[in-house]
A and B are shown apart, each in its own frame.
Chain A
Amino acid sequence: MSVVTVVRRAVLWVPDWPVVAAMTEAGLGAHVPAAVLHGRGLIAVSAAARAAGVRRGSTRRLAQRACPELAILPHDEGRDSRLFEAVAAAAEQAVSGVEISRPGLMIIPADGAARFHGSEEALAEALVTAVAEHAGIECAVGAADGLLAAVLAARSSEVVPAGASRGYLAPAPVDSLALAAMERAQRQEAERLASVLTRLGIVTLGDLAALPFADVLARFGPVGVWAHRLASGEDLAPPVLRRTEEDIAVEHVFEDPAERIEQLVHVAKEAAAALDRALLDAGVRCGRVRITARTEKGQELERVWRTDVGTRAGAFARHMTDRVRWQLEGWLSGTVGASGAARGPGAGAAGQVPEPSPLVSLGLVAEDVVPLGSEQAYLWGGVSGADSRAHRALERVQGLLGLEGVLAVAEQGGRSPRDRAHLAPWGQEAPPARAIAHPWPGRIPDPPPATVPPVARPALVLDAGGAPVTISRRLAVSAPPTWVRLEADPADERAQAANRHPSSGHVGRVAGPVWDRARPVESWAGPWPVSERWWSEDASRRAYVQVALRDGEDTVTAVLLAYGGGEWELEAVYD
């Protein structure tokens, strides 16, 4: 942490940004009381909700008591930063470069911009107007020397005169240090430091700044240095300006509409090489490539591919050639669900499947453009040969089957075996899974079953007399289960025929599941009740039973059955 000269800055602050972003996306007006919930507490509250008495940090229940019509919106950091781009673009109408320090807060070096606009007050006015006009969002602007003073000034829309920052900061409480923290981890450290300082009797930033620097370093380490420097109105680093790199695009228009893959192979190679050349000329590399094509019928097909290949030695061109070719093959054969009107990778296979149609143009756009040499390596240190081979294979399969044809799996918390598996399209950022560490009372004990049908299959559980076994609300089993009939394998002709036979109890066409033969129960355990989500619409109340079925001389199949709503279901097979 080197001492840098103090820079005069303006700070643009959007109050309650997470909730503003969430309301913008949900299409709610500013008069609707809304809050963003993360974990157990509200992390942002709109002005209308605050007026109704909802406080940041309170629980959902407390908030709903204060304001029953409160709209509670989910937390999404991606959305926060995505929508803030619009605000940054609006601010760039008034100034030439901004630094986004976190969604909701933007830093602008004030010297040049203020000279251009005439004064700092005029700069603030221009910024507020630009953001209100172009992004439709209210914001506050303040200016001061040093980071913390500027952030505090923005919260009260003040302009602190040059050289007065230290005096301006002195009466502020030490808690306000957290406002200058830009990452969550840093924020937590700052909050911890502030609580220790308060207990030591150092309640204002003036007190902290008055302490000898060396003592603060010795007692609190780097965090202390950071805090001391901020409290003294100094700076940590000059602002890093956001460079608006243009996306690099390559377009190819077919002379004749292409309907056969042979026509496309060459074009794919050409287009990939052209993109590679354009990237090299600009001295950049890209993190994603958006492949777009227009069909003869005027449909826009689009797919985004992630790429981690550097531009060295033509590897990128080869890599992209394959990807473009696979994608075009997929589109031409009509097997890929492509996003028609919808944009973005998330909308991939969700959109309608286009009819195969000749292509009239092909476009490649390099996105996430970064200067060469600044690419990030993976946390675990680069992609090994086998890893990149595997990624290529999976991307190839995604080209064949669509984005959701390949799934990445993870384990998550839950009670039934199906709830404990978390599936997401390969390569997409998965939404947060339920925590495994929570206790999950009533979880089906290990060993976990190796076969878990994606949807529970019907089953029949019969007692010795052939009557269905039921479980009462008080978990009394009507009779010990003696026979179990599962659904027959659809390929099993014999079971199908047996089901059509009049002796099976019906005549004519078979409605409902085709049952396999009844299998004797060797031993069983349960019922284990699981009552989940009673407060919501998808409430379930079921009882689980583990059953071992005798299949032959010494073959026993264990299954997990669930009883709920008068029906038995096959949840999993331990095969």
Chain B
Amino acid sequence: METAEARIARAREALAGVQRRVGTTRDRWEAPALPLTPLLDQVLPQGLRRGQVVAVAGSTSLMLALAAAASEAGSWTAAVGMPALGVVAAARRGLDLARLALVPHPGAQAAATAGACVDGMDVVLLGPRLALSDADRRRLASRARERGTVIVAEGAWAGAHTTLTAVGSRWHGLGAGDGRLRGRELTVRVEERRGGTARLVTLPIEGSALGATTAGAGVPARGGATAPSVSLRALGGAA
């Protein structure tokens, strides 16, 4: 004859097991994480957990940065509905282009396409203008949780684990007709589904820290032989 405490403990254990299986527990979320570039440590301190949905608003660079380290470590990435994705920028961020597939115009098949990508890829980037209903999104999110895929969606996504919004952006290096874009500081508002207040994180998303400080002066040195000034002279003579 077991005591009431033992029965309660057993019932709690069973409930916890069911919650883990169904995925309703939030604080025990212990999915393995994909590698994340150190740049974003402040943004996602818990790492890029598999099965997560990250909504990003206002910055394609941030989406690429999220996928970069995982791709470098051997993950597959698909970009659905992003016809304007900068391929060179993706390569510079560290994405392995051999493991990157673009589905620029899924059209009416957006839900099926995104579903197939969530099944097979490790990171799926979703563009802003996809024909996805809220039900489609919920289905995709649960499929991602089951498959351990990370969805990085541009624009709002109800029920996203983390929502990143680019609220501020500063560029260094441009002057009045001279210089070139060198460094960029991006301010990101981080909101987590778990609750807690939104945090603001500023990260040097473009250019090295050194470059950002030196370029803060604005105008690059004339003798610096930067690519544009060289080309100006080279082609200006020919034109």
Contacts and interface: CB of A to CB of B under 8 A. Distances in A.
Please say whether chains A and B are actual partners in one complex. Answer: yes
A546 interface: yes
Q: Which of B104, B168, B228 is the most central at the interface, judged by chain A CB atoms within 10 Å of its CB?
A: B228
Interface in B3-39: none
A449 B205 CA distance: 12
Given A406-B102, A408-B101, A445-B180, A417 B88 contact: yes
Given A448-B92, A451-B60, A556 B169 contact: yes
Given A400-B109, A400-B112, A441-B230, A446 B86 contact: no
A475 interface: yes
Interface in A502-543: 522-526, 528-531, 541
B170 interface: yes
A335 B113 CA distance: 13
B89 A441 contact: no
B78 to A, nearest CB: 8
Given A390-B76, A400-B113, A555 B86 contact: no
Given A397-B113, A409-B100, A525-B177, A555 B60 contact: no
Size category, A interface? 35 or more
A529 B109 contact: no
Interface string B157-178: 0000000001111110111111
A446 B239 CA distance: 24
A529 B236 CA distance: 7
Contacts of B75: 386
Interface stretch (A180-188, A340-348, A418-426): A418-426
B230 to A, nearest CB: 7
Contact of A451 (B86, B106, B171, B180): B86
Does more than half of chain A's interface fall in helix, strand or loop, or is it mixed? mixed
A524 B176 contact: yes
A393 B167 contact: no
A553 B167 CA distance: 10
Contacts of A524: 174, 176-177
B105 interface: yes
A411 interface: yes
A410 interface: yes
B210 interface: no
B64 to A, nearest CB: 6
A558 B171 contact: yes
Contacts of A477: 177
Contact of B116 (A397, A421, A556, A572): A397
**Contact-residue size bin, chain B (C-beta under 8 Å from the other chain):** 35 or more
A570 to B, nearest CB: 11
B86 A450 contact: yes
Nearest to B170: A556
B120 A575 contact: no
B135 interface: no
A420 B87 contact: yes
Contacts of A451: 60, 84-86
Contacts of B139: none
27 contacts: A335-B108, A386-B75, A387-B76, A400-B116, A408-B102, A409-B90, A423-B102, A448-B88, A448-B89, A449-B86, A450-B60, A450-B85, A450-B86, A451-B84, A451-B85, A454-B83, A473-B239, A475-B236, A477-B177, A525-B175, A528-B232, A554-B169, A554-B187, A556-B170, A574-B171, A574-B184, A575-B59
Interface of B: 58-61, 64, 74-76, 78, 83-92, 97-109, 112-113, 116-117, 119-122, 166-171, 173-182, 184, 187, 206-207, 218, 226-228, 230-232, 234-236, 238-239
Interface of A: 335, 386-387, 389-394, 396-397, 400-401, 405-411, 417, 420-423, 426, 441-454, 473-475, 477, 480, 522-526, 528-531, 541, 546-548, 552-558, 572, 574-575
- Nearest 10 pairs between A and B by C-beta? A393-B120, A421-B87, A442-B231, A523-B174, A450-B60, A448-B88, A390-B76, A448-B89, A445-B227, A407-B102
Given A421-B86, A555-B167, 13 more contacts: A390-B76, A392-B120, A421-B87, A446-B92, A451-B60, A474-B239, A526-B177, A528-B228, A529-B236, A530-B235, A541-B239, A558-B181, A558-B184
